[in-house]
Chain A
Amino acid sequence: MDMISKEHKKEKLGFEETELRLGLPGGGGIVNGDLVINGKRGYTETVDLKLNLALKETGKEENSQKEKNLISCSNDSIKSPYKAQVVGWPPVRSFRKSIMAVQKRNSEGGGAAASFVKVSMDGAPYLRKVDLNMYKSYQDLYGALGKMFSSFTMGKCDSRGMMDFMNERKLMDVLNGSDFVPTYEDKDGDWMLVGDVPWEIFVGSCKRLRIMKGTEAIGLG
């Protein structure tokens, strides 16, 4: 825990090595560009967990917009990236968020109320809750999960912009390339890999989510 040498590191840190990737064991992930840190949380600092499955890259526009913002970022004004989702902002109750999403999804007639499921990540003490009705696709969901768990996986910055590497065990896990795999418990109580079934069917059958360490996910799906 050599704090002194870390204090001397003024240059931006290369995050490619330490980035957490969601994917099946052996796969590569989509990597974000360099991150700029200035002590404020902001969405520019959260890292996306991107699942490495054969999905269309709808996130391309999002990434290039993010890079634009990162380059022009200064301490005084942080512009929000396209469709950024920071936990707690905007301050809208969960049941209200799903009105729009459900409206878009349902053709007519009464749709389901909010569909909350608990989300756990191996090693993280906090559980989260998501309303699956808020998302239109797996990509949407992964983006949200990534931001929710980012402070845990990537640590936080202190006021001088240094990454927190004090939890060595976490760092080692990430560096080992041990990927995280999202799994879910369905209505029958079985644990499945997320992404196998069409999105609507998934929303209807998912009871809870668990983001497992890749090494434990062998044997599923």
Chain B
Amino acid sequence: MAYSFPEEVLEYVFAFLSSHKDRNAVSLVCKSWYEIERWCRRRIFIGNCYAVSPQIVIRRFPEVRAVKIKGKPHFADFNLVPEGWGAYVYPWISAMVRSYPWLEEIKLKRMVVTDESLELLSKSFKNFKVLVLSSCEGFTTDGLASIAANCRNLRELDLRECEVEDLSGHWLSHFPDNFTSLVSLNMSCLGSEVSFSALERLVSRCPNLRTLRLNRAVPVEKLPNLLRRAPQLVEFGTGAYSAENQTDIFSNLVEAFSGCKHLKSLSGFWDVDPAYLPAMYYACTGITSLNLSNATVQSPDLVELIIQCPNLKCLWVLDYIEDAGLKALPSYCKDLQELRVFPSDPYGAEPNVSLTEQGLVTVSAGCPKLQSVLYFCRQMSNAALITIARNRPNLIRFRLCIIDPQAPDYLTLEPLDTGFGAIVEHCKELLRLSMSGLLTDRVFEYIGTHAKKLEMLSIAFAGDSDLGLHNVLSGCESLRKLEIMDCPFGDKALLANAAKLETMRSLWMSSCSVRRCPSSNVEVMDERGHPDSRPETCPVEKLYIYRTVAGPRVDKPNFVWTMDEDAVLRLS
């Protein structure tokens, strides 16, 4: 010990480590490094709220200032996780209130947050600064009122795609008159109208406001007043972007937008009247992120706007952009890194727009920095996928949803195995892959062989047998999250790869053929009763396997069963 650095020096060095991976690695070097590191770790990331308990976290890291916790599995976004499953934040908040009085930041994803939790946190953490709730639910606007009223040092209130019970817009008026610290406000997922005068006064008195995302209920006439009071805005989300014919609105908008010389991100755009889009053109030169996924306008108007943004890096848009619109991207938005194309009519039987695989092929050919893709379409071919893979070996995220499940290559009617095989073969840095279309066990051979960096894989209606799942589990060395729906995978692959499951964060399987499961951290969700009450041949509805040091859950609803050790012994 006489030869090691003094603690203070090590602490100072560790402060430069921001990545959780690095911090975790450092803590494994030796006992004294573990001790020093744990006392100076300020930021915690918990990828699965059931993997560890608040008590264990607090015991190890006593001086935390910021927590980020994720709850439900990703497929909860598509209504596959039943109501009442869990992921309640209250136990975390009540434990942290006792042990982290100086907590500043809470970021939650897919968790159930109650008004009680919000009130408790607003009254307990005196220096609370940042609240980001992503895809959360369980609270009402009353909870927001507590936050507004009590968090005197609040900087960020960011509600991303949350399901909030909207009682009224009155919550906004609870920010006190002497409250000036707001930097970021995202209320885009709320429905009710807030008091416009309260909003204007809030914006006026917060000089550091850089992000303002309004909700749909803020009409376009109100935008000029708001923008004039906040010309320093960097990120702005409109409300409904249309109005009755009033000529001065347009000129007011032009003036207001041209005063915003720092805008980098635009969003909102519900109910767009295309006539008002050009009002934004002056603000577009600096735009790097454009979210038009609410904008139900046709391709020519969309394209006119997009091509005003030469520095565009991230584009989210509806499939109204069509192949023709996507063709414009390589010429005008060469720096594009992320493209997401959402379906305007996902349940329609016939295509309502002319968007095919060609659009994606064109973008992949002409945008050399493209690394992240989410694309909904109605037809795909192996040839197109191979072309995309060859064009863009730098892809990191590739999520393709062909709307008709098990749709084959529309040219050859073959499965899309070779297409996706090309993707994993050429894109060696691929971290995330979602597949669709007609896929056999073959594609999983390719994935197991090539996708060595892959961390997250989403599969639906694919494969023929357990061999498919076995190839993934045995071949994908970096796999952390695997989610499967409606595939004919059963017990064999799970049993053969039980050890692998311990190295992953989680595995979700619904509507597959799994009957029994290999390890003890398994949740079975079944409405029809305990798995043992049904015949051995009957598959379970939903299975969620995750590693944990916290033991079985204490907050399970009546349709979730955790398999115990006895079940494991009975199997073998």
Contacts and interface: CB of A to CB of B under 8 A. Distances in A.
A129 B406 contact: no
A3 B321 CA distance: 55
A126 B541 CA distance: 12
Interface stretch (B51-59, B71-79, B96-104): B71-79
Contact of A164 (B166, B191, B538): B538
Interface string A87-107: 111111111110110010010
Interface in B83-103: 83-84
B486 interface: yes
A160 interface: yes
Contacts, number: 156
Nearest to A41: B511
B331 interface: no
Interface in A135-169: 151-152, 155-156, 158-160, 162, 164, 166-167
A220 interface: no
A39 B348 CA distance: 26
B527 A124 contact: yes
Given A39-B488, A164-B534, A129 B79 contact: yes
A40 B486 contact: yes
B443 to A, nearest CB: 15
A112 B296 contact: no
Most A C-beta atoms less than 10 A away, residue of B240, B271, B490, B558: B271
Interface string B400-427: 0101111000000000000000000000
Given A126-B527, A159-B490, A113 B215 contact: yes
B346 interface: yes
A56 interface: no
Interface string B434-467: 1000100000000000000000001011000000
Contacts of B166: 113
A156 to B, nearest CB: 7
B6 interface: no
A88 B78 contact: yes
A78 B406 contact: yes
Contacts of B132: none
A108 interface: yes
A96 B216 contact: no
A87 to B, nearest CB: 6
B401 A91 contact: yes
Given A128-B83, A159-B490, A93 B528 contact: no
Contact of B403 (A90, A110, A112, A158): A90
Interface residues of A, number: 54
Interface stretch (B30-38, B143-151, B177-185, B337-345): B337-345
Given A127-B82, A151-B527, A158 B346 contact: no
A113 B537 contact: no
A159 B510 contact: no
B510 to A, nearest CB: 7
B530 to A, nearest CB: 11
B343 A90 contact: yes
A155 B293 contact: no
A128 B85 CA distance: 12
Nearest to B534: A166
B294 interface: yes
A156 B538 contact: yes
A37 to B, nearest CB: 13
Contacts of B79: 87-88, 94, 128-129
B342 A113 contact: no
Contacts of A77: 406, 438
Contact of B216 (A110, A116, A125, A166): A110
Given A88-B78, A113-B190, A126-B559, A166 B533 contact: yes
Contacts of B458: 91
A106 B272 CA distance: 13
Interface in B335-359: 342-349
B270 A110 contact: yes
A151 B541 contact: yes
B345 to A, nearest CB: 5
B513 interface: yes
A90 B346 contact: yes
B80 A87 contact: yes
A158 B344 contact: no
A124 B559 CA distance: 10
Nearest to B560: A125
Given A80-B404, A80-B405, A164-B534, A159 B342 contact: no
A155 B539 CA distance: 11
Given A88-B510, A95-B161, A103-B296, A108 B535 contact: no
B119 interface: no
Contacts of B461: 40, 89
Given A99-B344, A124-B527, A93 B78 contact: yes
Interface in A29-66: 39-42
B537 A125 contact: no
A92 B346 contact: yes
Most B C-beta atoms less than 10 A away, residue of A40, A152, A155, A162: A40
B551 interface: no
Interface in B529-572: 529, 533-535, 537-539, 541, 557-559
Contacts of B342: 92, 96
B236 interface: no
A155 B528 contact: yes
Given A95-B189, A100-B344, A156-B538, A110 B486 contact: no
A85 interface: yes
Given A93-B78, A125-B558, A155-B528, A88 B541 contact: no
A164 B510 contact: no
A93 B79 CA distance: 8
Contacts of A96: 293, 342
B535 A166 contact: yes
Contact of A108 (B215, B242, B293): B242
A108 B490 CA distance: 50
A187 interface: no
Contact of B559 (A39, A94, A125, A166): A125
Contacts of B393: none
A9 interface: no
A205 B75 CA distance: 30
Given A89-B405, A125-B558, A82 B510 contact: no
Given A92-B78, A159-B513, 7 more contacts: A88-B79, A99-B296, A125-B557, A127-B84, A158-B535, A158-B538, A164-B538
22 contacts: A3-B535, A40-B461, A41-B486, A87-B78, A88-B79, A90-B376, A91-B434, A92-B343, A93-B78, A94-B79, A97-B347, A110-B216, A110-B219, A113-B216, A125-B558, A127-B83, A128-B79, A128-B82, A152-B528, A164-B534, A164-B538, A166-B528
Interface of A: 3, 39-42, 77-80, 82-83, 85-97, 99-100, 103, 106, 108-114, 116, 118, 124-129, 151-152, 155-156, 158-160, 162, 164, 166-167
Name the 5 nearest CB pairs between A and B, nearest first.
A113-B191, A110-B240, A127-B83, A126-B82, A41-B511
